[in-house]
Structure 1
């Protein structure tokens, strides 16, 4: 290496002196010890939580790799808010680069030099290092600057709530001071060292050199910079060491807890719910004190960054219901911290009175999982909310309308309270006989569901699907009066015991039949048959043999079994993604393919696929009364008529879920949309297209 390259470096601990260097290392060691003690306290606190029902740390290397990929890609942050995603990427990548760069310098100073007597922090390595650090550090400062602007300049509503505190202000301020302070320290060093050597090569540190030029313009001489450097260096170093020590005790800890939460995530969280232990006493079902939450759920509470994304997408909050998913998580965290500090013990959840969470708050949840889909750190809101509902159920504080529905299920196997013998009455108006799967082998065992069996409007949907199956020559059959409620929403309102009874009864009825696959009308039944029933020993099928009718019929259409040419209908329509079909189970294209196969002119609503807005019927919402303005169904219909590209030209609002049908028919009346738009089941649209196609063929 040439002599010039050997001197191309920067001095370390310049003008700090031996005593200052020893003091710095002492303070650094102290900061690290305080940091480690805080991390130990956090981890020890998680161990006081209950055991999690799922294995969260199996195949740990792959989990860590997947978590790192999610964190570094910022994929979840980019969803729905590209500016926030890019901002967060700048902050994360910049912070990690600065951390790695500081570590490299420490390795050179404290390991490599003492062992070899030489330094690798010179020449081309130094020049490359300086450029990368300046470039990534600039991204870091820009990212923090955008965060400050969004919080205080633009004052985004979702970033401010009752849990917003000085801690949030201090965190952003500390990051900004660290980023800007680093460049100020660099600029002062470059200007100051010009009194003793040629620093022209430092132009590679383009931000530091820019600060150096600003200092010169401000009238600062190299001699003044050299004199001020120790003060500037110590100021920056002390802020950095304080920040390290502070991390485990405040908001900065989310840098660790969020990553740990991604490592321990359950990809089926909310889609499947944990079972209640068989030996659990009634008083042990659902959390009655803070340590009844599992260690993963306590980690969830610490991972929350208060970003408000879950609040923004929550249909219950938008409708004015007393639920904000963020506040539930943070209320539980705050209560835990108060209890750990010796605060008063109160019930976790109760109907009115003094409790951490009010019963009406949990009853408001529609189990749509929009909060979980939006959460960038994979907090499992719905799982915790369901367990809170279980506690309400066991303490006898369930909503009276839900109680009535549950009693109907217990006595009659359906939420309507109608006799079991009337379940197949919807078939009476068909001009053919629907096969009985109990009497003959079938390819598809069709689970019809409560609403298509008992609700007059949804009976038309069931009959339309039967006509589609007949037209396609499908070998199918139903269970007739042996069918009972599938129980997806029974489980999500907290009635685990009743749900398990339904699993046993339905599994026996289905197990007595000979079939290849199960097909459901209702996405809610599809979800629980596919993702939850197979975890019970009574169930003899696996998730690969369960389908929603849109998947089956889409295959039939593609194979030409429906005889559709693609120009049978000419309606202008929009399609609504049901939560349990789309967000829960990623079935997005099959329903759209079917709409397109009829020839309809389909327009997407702004909120579609993963971002779809709930109808309001999930999680027991169909059975409850809330003072809402607007109702989720009314808001969704407004969106269809005002926010789609077709606007008021939309004639039909296509649904693929019986609950959605019920909620939107109600919303059409209460929202004043009866003359503006028609709610139509996808099967009705298909049946009409098939009928027209057959009529044309006959001609």
Structure 2
């Protein structure tokens, strides 16, 4: 009778737990379905590779080696323990039950014991990192949920060992320390209590384990632990292709009434998976230049607030419109057409909720982003923060016409004169008059050229950046490179306009530039601006560009390798090298600039604490070059201070924007007399015998 009641109680707990878990997961799936359909490229092989590397290989987690190793143990021991859970459940109904592995069961037992112990140790270490070491990125919130995770996992693992230990006493078995070292030690410690007490304690801890398992299972979908369910899907379905590439808006689609994202359901379904995949690990916020300098923007907080908003709105929609689709994705590549989808989205649109922009996400957060992608590079579950922020900006700019006054002025200057300052566009070519020792022909002045040198607005109009353009032209002259410029026909690349949310202006500039390139038969483009390089290389092809695109450091490195230029003069400089975000994290170019510097006699390359993929943004990206920072510390000051800690004689960069920000930083720190700021091109030119 007791065994029967035990079985009924187990069925009740199990049934309730599984039903609640399934219902909660299904609700999150239906909330995701409120988003717009996603045009998903298949690219199955690449997606599988991403899962193998970033889920099963845990690559991103090892950016913090201590946490990475801890999570690797938790990840794999979790799967091992689940196999033992089946056996443990049966043990509660069949005394002394073991999987029919024969002699191999002792090795299975050994694997289970060590997996359980290692998970317990990993949980203890995780607890120490949060509450003992007080790791900064984990101190953002104190709502008790994190503590519950540690308590639940500690209870889950320790109850396994206690159950197995008291099972040995219940069965009057000799403790086997060789193949059951931890439960065997428990059995040995309590060996004198007798089989009756052993039986009682066995069922007590068996039930503790079962209740913990199903309680934690119900907890998972309602907490940050939901990443255990959604992270793998998020990695698999993430955008493939160039990182940071933005979605194109079809302005010819007459059905579109609003541009950008003004409501949570305006995001795509794939974007909404990000919200439930977030592990709340704080890695993104820990590396964010805005957050690190006292701005209101926190990438993690942004995701969490949108997740909670989606959950709240989804729950309201579900209560009003219970007929919801049962598929996760609406793309035809993944699932059939859903007749209930439009109904769900229409219902979502009528539910009265706080405004996404203004109530949930502030405009200050939206405009603080520098689009550096440090958050995305750090994220172990492949969340993409930047494209969401750009979509919010698009709504403000294109739908509401609401933007900072600096952005308004920027757009007007680009529209009228195709440069940020509003200077006469006919002065774009004047930069080449600054030096008589360089030859810079326009496309009209030369019959044949290999490279189109796209100078950009900074190189054309900014006095400091003009020197970069001149140095690069000199290098190409020395190397015998046949190149030309568009001169006054050159337009802004539109990259900054796009990342400030003005997609319409970007597309207009993009089409004008491509028309120019085609008219002059351009096959190769080289530019000194990483932002222009990135948008030409990865975004213009979607609009029809067919040309090879080079950053000036790539071409310089090529010329050095070919022997076309030979840096031979000593340049005695200790250079703190700064990685541009749009060359580094966007295009994975880290070694080429360093190899160029190391090829110059006398140059010593100094590495900042945050370098390469972890390098901090200069603060200019995402349009912030043209807007005032009204909160916290200036980003460029923080980055300059990081460079100055190395006591360099020069701060080196590969971007006109970065050079400007670092130059302003040295002036603000009153260090410009002892520390120069130079582009790699200028340093190379100093080493050439001309």
TM above 0.5, yes or no, is yes
Corresponding residue number in structure 2 for 1:7:
none
| Structure 1 residue 345: Cα displacement | 1.6
Corresponding residue number in structure 2 for 1:12:
none
Structure 1 CA distance, aligned partners of 2:276 and 2:620?
Answer: 31
Corresponding residue number in structure 2 for 1:467:
474
Corresponding residue number in structure 1 for 2:592:
590
Give the 5 Å matches for 1:195-214.
198-201=173-176, 203-214=178-189
Structure 1 CA distance, aligned partners of 2:189 and 2:497?
Answer: 67
Corresponding residue number in structure 1 for 2:665:
667
After superposition, what is the alpha-carbon deviation per residue over 1:90-141, rounded to whole angstroms, capped at 9, x for unaligned? 111111111133357789999xx9xxxx985243221111111111111211
SS in 2 for 1:546: strand
SS in 2 for 1:680: strand
Structure 2 CA distance, aligned partners of 1:109 and 1:306?
Answer: 36
SS in 2 for 1:204: coil
| Structure 1 residue 598: Cα displacement | 1.4
The answer to whether the 8 A contact 1:503-1:533 is kept is: yes
| Structure 1 residue 172: Cα displacement | 2.5
SS in 1 for 2:587: coil
Corresponding residue number in structure 2 for 1:685:
683
Structure 1 position 55 matched with structure 2 position 40? yes
Structure 2 CA distance, aligned partners of 1:613 and 1:376?
Answer: 19
Structure 2 CA distance, aligned partners of 1:64 and 1:588?
Answer: 26
Corresponding residue number in structure 2 for 1:4:
none
SS in 2 for 1:323: coil
Structure 1 CA distance, aligned partners of 2:638 and 2:375?
Answer: 18
| Structure 1 residue 200: Cα displacement | 4.5
Residue among 528, 543, 550 paired with 2:553: 550
Corresponding residue number in structure 2 for 1:6:
none
Structure 2 CA distance, aligned partners of 1:596 and 1:563?
Answer: 13
Structure 1 CA distance, aligned partners of 2:226 and 2:521?
Answer: 55
CA 1:639 to 1:274, structure 2 compared with 1: closer, same or farther past 3 Å?
same
Aligned-residue CA RMSD (Å): 2.4
Deviates more, 1:651-660 or 1:181-190: 181-190
SS in 1 for 2:575: strand
| Structure 1 residue 22: Cα displacement | 4.9
Structure 1 position 620 matched with structure 2 position 623? yes
Structure 2 CA distance, aligned partners of 1:73 and 1:100?
Answer: 21
Residue among 368, 384, 389 paired with 2:372: 368
Deviates more, 1:524-533 or 1:95-104: 95-104
Structure 1 position 481 matched with structure 2 position 488? yes
Structure 2 CA distance, aligned partners of 1:287 and 1:639?
Answer: 36
Deviates more, 1:579-588 or 1:329-338: 329-338
The answer to whether the 8 A contact 1:576-1:654 is kept is: yes
CA 1:463 to 1:666, structure 2 compared with 1: closer, same or farther past 3 Å?
same
Structure 1 position 417 matched with structure 2 position 422? yes
Structure 1 position 640 matched with structure 2 position 643? yes
Structure 2 CA distance, aligned partners of 1:107 and 1:210?
Answer: 23
The answer to whether the 8 A contact 1:442-1:514 is kept is: no
Corresponding residue number in structure 1 for 2:335:
none
Corresponding residue number in structure 1 for 2:104:
125
Corresponding residue number in structure 2 for 1:292:
266
| Structure 1 residue 227: Cα displacement | 2.9
Structure 1 position 309 matched with structure 2 position 292? no
The answer to whether the 8 A contact 1:471-1:562 is kept is: yes
Structure 2 CA distance, aligned partners of 1:583 and 1:33?
Answer: 44
Corresponding residue number in structure 2 for 1:563:
566
| Structure 1 residue 275: Cα displacement | 1.0
Give the 5 Å matches for 1:207-246.
207-216=182-191, 220-246=193-219
Corresponding residue number in structure 2 for 1:262:
235
Structure 1 position 21 matched with structure 2 position 28? no
The answer to whether the 8 A contact 2:164-2:202 is kept is: no
The answer to whether the 8 A contact 2:575-2:606 is kept is: yes
Residue among 72, 75, 87 paired with 2:56: 72
Corresponding residue number in structure 2 for 1:656:
654
CA 1:615 to 1:16, structure 2 compared with 1: closer, same or farther past 3 Å?
farther
CA 1:88 to 1:381, structure 2 compared with 1: closer, same or farther past 3 Å?
same
Deviates more, 1:316-325 or 1:524-533: 316-325
Structure 1 position 523 matched with structure 2 position 520? no
Give the 5 Å matches for 1:87-486.
87-103=70-86, 121-162=100-141, 164-194=142-172, 198-201=173-176, 203-216=178-191, 220-268=193-241, 271-278=244-251, 279=253, 283-342=257-316, 344-350=352-358, 355-394=359-398, 395-431=400-436, 432-438=438-444, 439-486=446-493
The answer to whether the 8 A contact 1:183-1:207 is kept is: yes
| Structure 1 residue 153: Cα displacement | 2.1
Corresponding residue number in structure 1 for 2:341:
none
Corresponding residue number in structure 1 for 2:339:
none
SS in 1 for 2:450: strand
TM-score by length of 1: 0.88
CA 1:495 to 1:270, structure 2 compared with 1: closer, same or farther past 3 Å?
farther
CA 1:433 to 1:486, structure 2 compared with 1: closer, same or farther past 3 Å?
same
The answer to whether the 8 A contact 1:441-1:515 is kept is: no
| Structure 1 residue 668: Cα displacement | 1.2
TM-score by length of 2: 0.89
The answer to whether the 8 A contact 1:108-1:121 is kept is: no
**Structure 2 gaps, min length 5:** 317-350
Structure 1 CA distance, aligned partners of 2:254 and 2:145?
Answer: 40
Give the 5 Å matches for 1:485-500.
485-500=492-507
Corresponding residue number in structure 1 for 2:604:
601
The answer to whether the 8 A contact 1:519-1:548 is kept is: yes
Residue among 8, 17, 36 paired with 1:31: 17
The answer to whether the 8 A contact 2:36-2:269 is kept is: yes
SS in 2 for 1:442: coil
CA 1:673 to 1:267, structure 2 compared with 1: closer, same or farther past 3 Å?
farther
Structure 2 CA distance, aligned partners of 1:404 and 1:454?
Answer: 17
SS in 2 for 1:534: helix
**Structure 1 gaps, min length 5:** 1-14, 695-699
Corresponding residue number in structure 1 for 2:510:
503
| Structure 1 residue 45: Cα displacement | 1.9
How many residue pairs end up in the alignment? Answer: 649
Structure 2 CA distance, aligned partners of 1:506 and 1:59?
Answer: 31
